Amino acid sequence: VASPQLADLAALTEVVGADHVLVDDDVRAGYEVDWTGRFRGRCRAVVRPGSTAEVAAVVRWCGAHGLAVVPQGGNTGLVGGSVPGPDGDGVVVSLHRLQRFDPVDEVAAQVTVGAGVTLAALHERVRGSGWAFGVDLAARDSATIGGMIATNAGGIRVLRHGAMRAQVLGVEAVLGDGSVVSHLGGLVKDNTGYDLAGLLTGSEGTLGVVTAARLRLVPDPPDRVVVLAPLPSVAAAMALCARLRARVPGLEALEAVLGDGLALVCDHLGLAHPFPADPPVALLAEWAGEGDPPDALVEIFGSDDVLVAADGAGRERLWRYREAMTESISAVGVPHKLDVTLPLGSVAEFADAVVGAVQAAVPPAAVHLFGHLGDGNLHVNVTGVDPDDERVDDVVLRLVADHGGSISAEHGIGRAKVPWLGLVRSDSEIAAFAAIKAALDPNGVMNPGVLLPGEG
Ligand code: FAD
Ligand code: MLT
Ligand code: ZN
């Protein structure tokens, strides 16, 4: 296999047009570093195909030249999967130009969109149809539907609607061999073989490039209430979440900011502290339905300290304390971001143990905890440590495995967690992953070094 010189890249301009093959160092730079600044690589070029056929031609060209394909959407991924590896032998394939947007199918409650459509654009286009898209997350202005499918993104409404996999009814994709698969009919019942959409969801760009998707929509209730409550401990918060889940139909979100999180956000954004004293846990709950919320919600939260908002601006104000955690932490330094799930019954014990464990292993570390408490999903973020010091990742992920949890709840494995996949997946499972990869990506071009061990 011949490795192309820069001049050979000109062949790609015939496929996508000269404006869409980017080779200048300055221009490539933004595509070569991840959102956190922890993961940096190099690529030969950034290519921006404008159609599924162009994506297929680019993938085939990379296969013929032995170059890695690194799919990239909004580059908001937090595990280094959207940026190339250090060897420079890859091409970033940016999917932004795939902006297909079919009319909302109001009868089926479905819509077909291109991979490059952002989450915010999808929410906007669906608004007013009587339906909504069931996944939401703070990176909505940049994160793309293709990237969200590739990571099986979760976000703040998993409690009610599930993660991306639950919304994806079908995909169109270019597989690693350059072939195109398309199954966008959106039939409610369709038992005709392997679930390729399910397989591509969460595959992190290692099997193929998602170019479009048929998505499920959900009802859009007219009334919403957000509550922000101070609680004395994670154990108290978990007990309260269990009571809410049992007695309050229509819960959309159960989120939390722990420890110094509120102070961090207030300092970073110049916001007023929401409570007279920052509590050990600030629990945010959102209910959605028609009319007044159930009496049980009021009864369970019945305390003077609780903040409540029913209007849009007020709800947004309360959400800010939770959603601004990511940017507030990055303002402190380049974080190690460990996104983990625990069995719900072990969350409190894990949260108490993890801070001491990290500080014992890497003494200067500061540990910030927040996340989707109702899903047992904690974000353990660590600052004050060299981005390359993997002792942090090691101690947290081993503690997670010891508690019966998962080393990735929603961000994926990416480049960040490959060495620890074996903590939660058996040798047989990893061999099955490798066999699937070899079948769909026989040239091994799709995002090598991401997700699967042994690819360097
Ligand atoms: P990218 O970052 O570009 O790529 C992510 C992965 O998908 C990479 O492996 C890439 O190769 C692959 N990929 C991208 N596009 C395609 C495609 N079309 N076909 C095949 N593979 C592709 N994540 C959550 O799950 N929940 C959250 O609550 C959440 N909140 C966030 C808040 C902030 C402020 C930020 C910065 C990030 C957050 N994230 C969250 C992480 C991130 O937004 C998600 O992982 C999102 O799904 C990434 O989408 P993207 O388009 O930016 O993908
Ligand atoms: C969140 O829940 O805010 C995101 O997953 C982002 C993060 O982990 O920083
Ligand atoms: Zn999250």
Phi, psi of 175 (to 5 degrees): -80, 170
Residue 303 has a pLDDT of 76
* Helix segments in 127-233, DSSP class H: 145-151, 158-161, 196-200
How many angstroms does the Cα of residue 18 sit away from the middle of ligand 2?
37
Residue 2 has a pLDDT of 44
Name the residue at shortest CA distance from atom 9 of ligand 2. 326
* C-alpha span between 111 and 104 (Å, rounded): 5
> Who contacts 406 (Cβ-Cβ below 8 Å, separation ≥6)?
340, 341, 400, 424
Asked whether the whole model's pTM tops 0.75, one would answer yes
Q: Is the CB of 325 under 6 A from ligand 2?
A: yes
Q: Is the CB of 339 under 6 A from ligand 2?
A: yes
Class of residue 2 by CB neighbours under 10 A (exposed 0-12, middle 13-18, buried 19+): exposed
Residue 5 has a pLDDT of 56
* Helix segments in 249-390, DSSP class H: 261-269, 295-300, 312-323, 325-332, 347-361
Of the candidates 290, 286, 344, the residue with the CA atom closest to the CA atom of residue 315: 286
237-253: pLDDT as tens digits: 999 999 999 999 999 99
Please provide the size of the chain in residues. Answer: 456
Pocket, ligand 1, Cβ cutoff 6 A: 35, 70-78, 81-82, 95, 115, 137-139, 142-144, 146-148, 150-151, 153-155, 204-205, 209-210, 326, 410-411, 447, 450
Classified as helix, coil or strand, 108 is coil
Using 70 as the pLDDT threshold, list the residues of the chain that sit under it: 1-7, 456
N-term to C-term CA, the chain: 19
Residue 1 has a pLDDT of 39
Tokens 């072939």 belong to residue: 179
